[in-house]
Amino acid sequence: MTSSELATTDVPAGASGASGTTTTGPAREKSPGSAEGATRGPARPVTTGDRAHGTFRRDIEGLRGVAVLLVVLYHAGVPLFGGGYVGVDVFYVISGFVVTSVLLREYATDGTISILGFYARRARRLLPAAVLVLITTLLAAWWWLPLQLQWIATQAIASAAYCVNFLLARNSVDYLDTMRRESPLEHYWSLAVEEQFYLCWPLLLLALLGWPRLLRRRRARSTSARSQPARTGPAWLQPARSWWRPGDLRPVLVVVAGVAVLSFALCVWLTATSPGYAYFGSPARAWQLLAGVLIALGAGAVSRLPARLAAGMAWTGLAAVLAAALLFDSTTPFPGYPALLPVAGAALVIAAGCAPHSGGAGGLLALRPLQWIGRLSYSWYLWHWPFLVIGAALLGGHGTIWQNLGLVGGALVAAAGTYLLVEAPLRRRRRAARPWRTVGLAAVASAAVVAVAVPALATKPTLVGPGRPVDTAATLAASADVERDLTRLVAASADAGPVPANLTPPLPEVTTDIPAVFHDGCVVLRITDTGTDHPCGYGDPAAAQTVVLFGDSHAGSWFPAVRRLADERGWRLVVMVKGFCSAASVRFHLDSVNRPYDECVQWREQALRRIGELRPAMVVTSSTNYTFGDPVGVFTDRDQVWTDGWARTVDEIRSTGSEVVLIGDVPWLPPTVVDCLALHLTDARACHGPVSDVVLEPRRRQMIADVARDRGALVVDPTPWFCTSTVCPALVGNVVTLRDGNHISATYSRLLWRVLDERIGLLGA
For the chain, give every domain's residue range: 510-668+689-721+739-760
Q: What is the pLDDT of residue 56?
A: 83
Highest mean pLDDT among 44-48, 172-176, 647-651: 647-651
CA separation for the pair 191, 6 (Å, rounded)? 6
* 55: Cβ contacts below 8 Å, ≥ 6 apart: 16, 20, 34, 35, 38
Q: What is the pLDDT of residue 222?
A: 59
Q: At what angle do helices 58-75 and 87-110 cross, to 10 degrees?
A: 150
- The SS3 call for residue 590 is strand
Counting Cβ atoms within 10 Å, is residue 494 exposed (0-12), middle (13-18) or buried (19+)? buried
Parallel, antiparallel or unpaired: strands 689-690 and 727-728: antiparallel
Q: What is the pLDDT of residue 759?
A: 87
Comparing C-alpha atoms, which of 526, 534, 513 is closest to residue 170?
Answer: 526
Whether pLDDT at 352 is above 80: yes
Q: What is the pLDDT of residue 445?
A: 86
Query: Which of 202-211, 410-419, 491-500 has the weakest average pLDDT?
Result: 202-211
Query: Which CATH number, 1.10.150.20, 3.40.50.1110, 3.30.390.50, 3.10.580.10, labels domain 510-668+689-721+739-760?
Result: 3.40.50.1110
Whether pLDDT at 277 is above 80: yes
Highest mean pLDDT among 259-263, 304-308, 521-525: 259-263
User: Contact, 191 vs 126, CB < 8 A?
Assistant: yes
Query: Which of 242-246, 325-329, 502-506, 583-587 has the weakest average pLDDT?
Result: 242-246
Q: What is the pLDDT of residue 1?
A: 40
pLDDT > 70: what percent of the chain? 84
Report residue 330's pLDDT band, with 50, 70 and 90 as the boundaries: confident
Whether pLDDT at 149 is above 50: yes
Instruction: Say which residue, 554 or 12, is predicted with more confidence.
Output: 554
Phi/psi of residue 369, nearest 5 degrees: -60, -45
CA separation for the pair 263, 287 (Å, rounded)? 5
Parallel, antiparallel or unpaired: strands 714-716 and 546-551: unpaired
Whether pLDDT at 463 is above 50: yes
Whether pLDDT at 147 is above 60: yes
Q: What is the pLDDT of residue 353?
A: 94
Whether pLDDT at 145 is above 60: yes
Query: Which of 343-352, 480-489, 520-529 has the weakest average pLDDT?
Result: 520-529
Highest mean pLDDT among 69-73, 114-118, 172-176, 449-453: 69-73
Report residue 763's pLDDT band, with 50, 70 and 90 as the boundaries: low
Per 3-state DSSP, the chain is made up of helix, strand and coil in percentages (nearest 5) of 60, 5, 35
15-66: per-residue pLDDT in tens?
333 333 333 332 333 322 222 222 223 222 233 333 333 468 999 999 999 9
Parallel, antiparallel or unpaired: strands 659-663 and 618-622: parallel
Whether pLDDT at 233 is above 70: no
pLDDT > 90: what percent of the chain? 65
The full DSSP string for 501-554 is TT-SS-GGGGGG---GGGTTT-EE-STT-----S--EES-TT-S-EEEEEESHH
530-548: per-residue pLDDT in tens?
876 566 899 888 899 999 9
Query: How many other CB atoms are there within 10 angstroms of residue 184's CB atom?
Result: 28
Report residue 581's pLDDT band, with 50, 70 and 90 as the boundaries: very high
AA letter at 227: S
CA separation for the pair 62, 22 (Å, rounded)? 11
Instruction: Say which residue, 526 or 532, is predicted with more confidence.
Output: 526
CA separation for the pair 363, 584 (Å, rounded)? 54
Whether pLDDT at 729 is above 90: yes
Parallel, antiparallel or unpaired: strands 595-596 and 572-578: unpaired
CA separation for the pair 741, 687 (Å, rounded)? 11
Whether pLDDT at 246 is above 50: no
For residue 751, CA distances in Å to 73, 477, 746 come to: 43, 8, 9
Q: What is the pLDDT of residue 358?
A: 86
HSE (side-chain half, CA atoms, 13 Å) at 185: 35
Whether pLDDT at 343 is above 60: yes
> What sign results for the dihedral spanned by CA atoms 583, 277, 181, 628?
negative
Cis peptide before 505 (omega within 30 of 0): yes
* 201: Cβ contacts below 8 Å, ≥ 6 apart: 99, 100, 103, 289, 293
Instruction: Say which residue, 690 or 228, is predicted with more confidence.
Output: 690
Comparing C-alpha atoms, which of 95, 103, 105, 118 is closest to residue 350?
Answer: 95
User: Contact, 184 vs 385, CB < 8 A?
Assistant: yes
AA letter at 88: V
User: Contact, 94 vs 343, CB < 8 A?
Assistant: no
The full DSSP string for 616-644 is -SEEEEE--SS-SSPBSS--S-HHHHHHH
Highest mean pLDDT among 13-17, 219-223, 373-377: 373-377
Whether pLDDT at 257 is above 60: yes
User: Contact, 353 vs 20, CB < 8 A?
Assistant: yes
Report residue 431's pLDDT band, with 50, 70 and 90 as the boundaries: low
CA separation for the pair 69, 79 (Å, rounded)? 13
User: Contact, 615 vs 658, CB < 8 A?
Assistant: yes
Three-class secondary structure assignment of 199-217: HHHHHHHHHHHHHHHHHHH
Cis peptide before 500 (omega within 30 of 0): no
Report residue 173's pLDDT band, with 50, 70 and 90 as the boundaries: low
Instruction: Say which residue, 379 or 539, is predicted with more confidence.
Output: 379
736-749: per-residue pLDDT in tens?
999 999 999 999 99
Report residue 287's pLDDT band, with 50, 70 and 90 as the boundaries: very high
Whether pLDDT at 342 is above 70: yes
Comparing C-alpha atoms, which of 633, 632, 630, 611 is closest to residue 620?
Answer: 611
Whether pLDDT at 398 is above 80: no
User: Contact, 123 vs 439, CB < 8 A?
Assistant: yes
Q: What is the mean pLDDT of the chain?
A: 85
pTM: 0.82
CA separation for the pair 434, 189 (Å, rounded)? 29
